[in-house]
Amino acid sequence: MKKFTIGFLLIAVCSSAFSQKEPDDIALATNEFQISYYEALKQKGIENNDRAIQSLQKCVSLEPNNAAVYNELGRNYLKLKKYKEAYDSFEKAFQIDPKNRWYLHGMYDVAYQTQDFNQAIILVTKLVAFEPNYKEDLTSLYMYTQQYDKALVLINEMNDDLGKSEKRDNYKKQIMQDARFQGSEKDDLLKLIAKNPKDESNYIALIYLYSNSNQEEKALEVAKKLEIAIPNSDWAQVSLFKFHLNNNDGPKAVKSMHQILDSDKIDNKIKHRVLNEFLIFAKNNPGYDADLMKAVSYFNSDKEVAVAKEVGKFFQSKSEWNQAKSYYEMDLKNNPNDLESALLLFEMYVKLEQFEALAKKSEEMTELFPSQPDLYYYAGLANNQLKKFAKAKDYLESGMDYVIENKALEINFNIQLGEAYNGLGDQKKKELYFKKAEQLLKK
């Protein structure tokens, strides 16, 4: 028996000397202990955590100072969301073996899952001594608890040691929205730019800071410096674009805009803002229709915002039907199943009295949406205007069956059916449908 225990201790010492592994292996002092422990592992493997805990408690009675057993208890309690028991078990394991970070990590898991972020900070601070990568976790915890000063120190430290990351950059942008941190950060960035004028990221961060604090002139100064230092910088164009618009310099604004929209470095929020600003400019300065159309085309693959449709709505609100029609057609070409765009487009066809186009497109759409009454209505209206009364009647009668609790649409169907029968020379049915429409209007 002693020989077996000594052998294990030698293995444990050698193992910890080379690497610190997660403690799945434990000292097996007796056959009874061995049987109970492996039964616990088996039960945990089939997610029978209650049974696993029973076996582990037997192990504790046999070896009350075996840290690995307490660690296994902690894991099983955590699976059952018995957080206090889990934490106490991991803590006991760490008290027995304070050199093993996995026990400390177990306590951290409990604190994080219970959203006890202040306790999690205490634990991760200790984990950093074992593994510096835990600084990423610590930074996130400081952000959750709004300890921005401590988070900023860590972010800058890791940026220096490891290089920048998107996550840390986003955290930094969030922190920089707080005026308390902007002054010192601006000074630091100015120093970094002077030290390394070819590092684009420092200019970008400073432009953000000035823009967010409504210091547009200073943001522009930084953009101009960036353009001189890095002539091909896409980011320099963001502030220069705004400058050109303010100076009413359309050609230069267009050039900057296309560079921005074509860039894979600039995020979509900024691109949307640039497009919106150019949209207003183009509306007030005729002659930029083609440039605007090209600008909108950059967003054809945008899955979050139907940009062409929104631009169409903008022009529709200004009663510029031709412009609105062009953008609805663009959107429908990219999204042929977009019913809203189709109906908006049909409104424009009616406004522009383009009934051939309306008939063709509405008839096509009834194939895609066979139970959508609005499409049949537009098909009927268009064919009436084209004096194809029999065709109009067929579409209107088919579509009427799908009109449910829509008084306005039902009135329009009856009016168009009256027009169709009038064109077919059936005065009796003409009067019937016009009378139905009149009765609905009075309700």
Predicted local confidence at residue 43, as pLDDT: 87
pLDDT digits (tens, 9 = 90+) for 173-225: 787 776 666 666 788 888 888 888 888 888 888 887 777 677 777 887 888 88
The answer as to whether 240 is a domain residue is no
The answer as to whether 393 is a domain residue is yes
The answer as to whether 289 is a domain residue is no
Predicted local confidence at residue 351, as pLDDT: 96
Domain residues for the domain of 22 are 1-131
The answer as to whether 158 is a domain residue is no
Rounded CA separation 293/69 (Å):
68
Rounded CA separation 350/60 (Å):
83
Predicted local confidence at residue 111, as pLDDT: 94
The answer as to whether 166 is a domain residue is no
Whole-number average pLDDT of the chain: 86
Rounded CA separation 399/412 (Å):
12
Last residue within a domain, chosen from 131, 147, 173: 131
Predicted local confidence at residue 234, as pLDDT: 87
Total of domains in the chain: 2
Residues of the chain with pLDDT under 70: 1-30, 178-184, 212
Rounded CA separation 3/96 (Å):
23
**Concatenated DSSP letters for 76-127?**
HHHHTT-HHHHHHHHHHHHHH-TT-HHHHHHHHHHHHHTT-HHHHHHHHHHH
Predicted local confidence at residue 301, as pLDDT: 84
Rounded CA separation 322/316 (Å):
9
Predicted local confidence at residue 385, as pLDDT: 97
Predicted local confidence at residue 137, as pLDDT: 92
Q: What is the CATH number of the domain that holds 438?
A: 1.25.40.10
How far from 91 is each of 11, 83, 85, 100, CA to CA, in Å?
A: 24, 12, 10, 11
Predicted local confidence at residue 12, as pLDDT: 33
Last residue within a domain, chosen from 131, 157, 190: 131
The answer as to whether 245 is a domain residue is no
Backbone conformation region of residue 163, classed left if phi is above 0, alpha if psi is from -120 to 50, else beta? left
The answer as to whether 110 is a domain residue is yes
Last residue within a domain, chosen from 131, 154, 179: 131
Predicted local confidence at residue 8, as pLDDT: 30
Predicted local confidence at residue 135, as pLDDT: 92
- On whether the pTM is more than 0.85, the answer is no
The answer as to whether 97 is a domain residue is yes
